[in-house]
Chains A and B, each alone.
Chain A
């Protein structure tokens, strides 16, 4: 599916490039900040093949090799790093994690869809689910057997590994016990001698006691080291067993999913429930028509109740848990909301700062003090304020209105979301503000003089001269702001437990399961790639508004 899309998009791009011609294509690529593609285009047009091939080597082949090297190094290193929470996941584990996350997402979608299926489709789906359940049965028995066998084998391996150490521990424990007893006896006999001796003898006795105490302590340390070694061996996870368990988990999870699907397609299905209620309604109606004055109120209430219930069931949905794709979308939405709030504050203030030295002087202390404040400080404050404004999100008109909106509604914007967005705004607005001010202040003197000669009014001067010249710098600021905002957001979500990538990371950290580590590593790439896309997007805007092509840093 994804492959098809990529091919389709590529085909469109190639078509567009062929139609637009070389120069326009190269220009478009430059604006998009995808300069590594330029040599390919030029090569296609047969321009200096040698130079282009060299460029391709440098800008495409080298990065690809670097990535491969990185993957190799990662693979090697991950085998060596053993933490108490498990091995550092290697690229393959990470890919597996990605697949599991994806499966979870699609399975939840299936359950949601199953809730709304009816008629022939429902019967087909049910048949598929039941068939798969049948198929799973022998598989499940097999993996259970494998796990039992793997556990047994792991236990045996462990026992053979631990046995010599355990034996050493036992013999040493016995030996040290004897030695201690001997020393105690010796000390006891020496004590009677020292008691009658002079001070020197007594001091010598102290020396003896000290030496023996040291010995005892050394022996204890030796035993402790041994025990620690044995415990570490026991705590080590057996890879074979882990693999068997992972297989078992995969099957068991699929079974869980199918079981729930079956339920969603039968008893819990919306149409099934509606049918059931309709039958009851029919019955209630019959009672109503047969009712006398004593029972009619009750019968009428029942009819009304049942009708209400049918309405509710018809509009109800399956309560789906948040999956990573949903959380990613919500995070991106949140960063843009924060970014917009921040820009709405920063740009006007920045323009004012740039226009008036006095205003700049007035703002400087605030910029200087608030700029370095960390998101961790802003967030709790923002949370308290946001919750104060929206005490009961279920009833508050603002959240109600937001939840009714067509596209935004499904993201359930709540105080935690607003607090995260405000935190993003507060942390990200500074770069935009300072850059805008700088851009406005640095407008070419000649342009201003021309405006003066033409006797332009304040507003025309602002919109015709000042803002257009300040735009490239302002956009450079916006680009930095969005980058900062994205970084801040993950931390803010993590703390406010606003549904999003940050919360996902935190939940995984809290889970501490054997696959959590791999999930977190996968999310590192998700966050990085989204950050990259956001940055590229801002570069495009920045290039579109600048005359001379702003520099593209990575």
Chain B
């Protein structure tokens, strides 16, 4: 059999391209004639870092499903041991870009921690975290609130039933120890939000206390995500907030109970971003565009649904992610949350179709309002030591979030016929609608950061 005949048509991409080419010939329209590989790449062998979490999926999928290759990129995807090393490697140039916590580019840009101008033009996902407590703490919470004894307790579970436990421990001269993954991580802010919403003080950062434990009722400490279950099992912490699969892992191993997910703390909250240094983006603008194009395609692939709204590609994605050089956890564990299920206990499996959102709800667009929210949390907990005016929040967010690049990449994809015009928020000013879908019901309007800060009981109010 000759080679040409045995070549299968694996996807619709080829026919679509042919169709476009045909249209271009017929109509001679310059917009459609824009062909795929026109980008003048400055660099085509790239190294991206990631942390072993399911929300690294867009990068891994873009590699494994060939979206990077279609843009002419050869990308090596390398696991990093923790968020600090990952950021350092991006700043030092060892990595070209990475799967980052939303807070990282912002913190690096304003100089909390390592200072470097890091930008993002792509939000990788929404939601995806959970707060897990050890079996012992869960039992004590159940004692305080017998409703939790039910096999499927009512959600959302607030930290109210945890408060007496914290107080008892304080009386004994001890503080509950909980883990989060990085000082400027979404997890830190979510865990703090969840605790503070029930009147538990998670501690303030000050100039001299960069561990964030001043006045704390509960002490939070940094542990790399994949280490969380082991650290919990070893008894160094009694609970943690981390991304998947490390909450499901705790259930699978029977060492802890996820009490809530960040979907309940803040519905559809932004989670990870794809970050690169400003310098890298300036030196490699075309390459950056190509990367963003591939990532948008990957996000779209991950959130593809059939007519019934079932996510069709997630099983395959879970299979890819379970490879030991990617996330590496068992397929069964990764599949739970990736296909829209979450085990809160062995007996409590629930459907959570939006546990990981990779594309819908305009998820991949880099919203200024997301940046502003992280800045308000940094101020709330004292990581930003001085009060700042409203304008500063907007300026800083605009330094980090680069929707222009995103829109340019999206425009190219639309022209190539790979993306629907209506899937991109073309005309937005970059601020999402105000929302009150938080666990404490406080409204967040990205345009009014100071007002939002004032609305909270615990933490800095200016």
Contact = CB atoms under 8 A, between A and B. Distances in A.
Interface residues of A, number: 67
B331 A245 contact: yes
A511 B226 contact: yes
B332 A512 contact: no
Given A268-B66, A512-B249, 6 more contacts: A130-B8, A227-B139, A313-B72, A415-B94, A497-B81, A511-B52
A322 interface: yes
B8 A262 contact: yes
Interface SS, A side: helix
A512 B37 contact: no
A321 B77 contact: yes
Interface string B58-94: 0000011010010010111111110001001000111
A235 B253 contact: yes
A235 B64 CA distance: 33
A127 interface: yes
B92 A127 contact: no
A239 interface: no
Given A267-B66, A511-B327, A392 B322 contact: no
A395 to B, nearest CB: 7
Nearest to B46: A319
Contacts of A358: none
A262 B66 CA distance: 12
16 contacts: A104-B325, A235-B252, A249-B322, A305-B40, A309-B41, A312-B41, A316-B45, A321-B76, A387-B88, A394-B96, A416-B94, A508-B328, A510-B224, A511-B328, A513-B324, A514-B330
A248 B322 CA distance: 13
Contact of B330 (A84, A231, A513): A513
A391 interface: yes
Interface in B316-359: 319-320, 322-325, 327-333, 346-347
A256 interface: yes
A321 B325 CA distance: 8
A85 interface: yes
Contact of B81 (A119, A235, A395, A506): A506
A231 B254 contact: yes
Contact of B44 (A312, A322, A394, A510): A312
Given A231-B254, A319-B45, A511-B324, A126 B227 contact: no
B3 A497 contact: no
A508 B135 CA distance: 25
Interface residues of B, number: 63
B420 interface: no
Interface in A283-330: 305, 308-309, 312-313, 316-322
B319 A391 contact: no
Contacts of A320: 76
Interface in A492-513: 495, 497, 503, 506-513
A521 to B, nearest CB: 15
A248 B318 CA distance: 14
Interface of A: 84-85, 104, 119, 122-123, 126-127, 130, 220, 224, 227-228, 231-232, 234-235, 245, 248-249, 252-253, 256, 260, 262-263, 266-268, 277, 280, 305, 308-309, 312-313, 316-322, 387, 391-395, 414-416, 495, 497, 503, 506-516, 519
A394 B94 CA distance: 7
Nearest to A388: B92
B346 A507 contact: no
A224 B139 contact: yes
Contact of B254 (A123, A232, A414, A508): A232
A394 B97 CA distance: 13
Contacts of A319: 45, 63, 74-77
Contacts of B224: 510
B434 to A, nearest CB: 39
Contacts of B41: 309, 312
Contacts of B226: 509-512
B173 interface: no
B6 A516 contact: no
B93 A414 contact: no
Contact of A508 (B38, B66, B80, B324): B324
- Across the A-B interface, the 7 shortest Cβ-Cβ residue pairs: A235-B254, A511-B328, A510-B226, A392-B93, A123-B3, A234-B346, A319-B76
A127 B1 contact: yes
A506 B7 CA distance: 41
A8 B433 CA distance: 74
Contact of B324 (A104, A415, A416): A104
B6 A123 contact: yes
Interface of B: 1-3, 6-8, 10, 35, 37-38, 40-41, 44-45, 52, 63-64, 66, 69, 72, 74-81, 85, 88, 92-94, 96, 135, 139, 143, 224, 226-227, 229-230, 233, 249, 252-255, 319-320, 322-325, 327-333, 346-347
Given A126-B7, A234-B254, A510-B328, A317 B92 contact: no
A234 B135 contact: no
Which of B37, B77, B255 has the most chain A CB atoms inside 10 A of its CB?
A: B37
A127 B6 contact: yes
A266 B8 contact: yes
Contacts of B346: 231, 234-235
Which of B3, B75, B227, B254 has the most chain A CB atoms inside 10 A of its CB?
A: B3
A313 B73 CA distance: 10
Which of A104, A309, A313 has the most chain B CB atoms inside 10 A of its CB?
A: A309
A260 B92 contact: no
B139 A507 contact: no
A155 B252 CA distance: 14
A316 B44 contact: yes
A320 B40 CA distance: 24
A416 B226 CA distance: 21
B66 A497 contact: no
Contacts of A231: 135, 254, 346
Contacts of B255: 84
Which of B35, B320, B332 has the most chain A CB atoms inside 10 A of its CB?
A: B332
Nearest to A283: B35
A84 to B, nearest CB: 4
B92 A510 contact: no
A516 B255 CA distance: 18
A119 B227 CA distance: 48
A185 B253 CA distance: 42
Given A245-B331, A321-B325, A516-B324, A85 B93 contact: no
Given A232-B254, A510-B52, A393 B66 contact: no
B6 A511 contact: no
A513 B79 contact: no
A174 to B, nearest CB: 13
Contact of B227 (A220, A309, A510): A510
Given A235-B254, A235-B346, A267 B10 contact: yes
Contacts of A318: 74
A30 to B, nearest CB: 43
Contacts of A497: 80-81, 85
B431 to A, nearest CB: 36
Nearest to B1: A127
B328 A516 contact: yes
A126 B93 contact: no
B323 A123 contact: no
Contacts of A507: 52, 79, 324-325, 328
B373 to A, nearest CB: 29
B322 A513 contact: yes
A149 to B, nearest CB: 15
Contacts of B331: 245, 248-249, 252
Nearest to B51: A510
A168 to B, nearest CB: 16
A325 B9 CA distance: 35
Which of A316, A515, A519 has the most chain B CB atoms inside 10 A of its CB?
A: A316
Nearest to A253: B323
A515 to B, nearest CB: 8
A124 B7 CA distance: 12
A260 B75 CA distance: 15
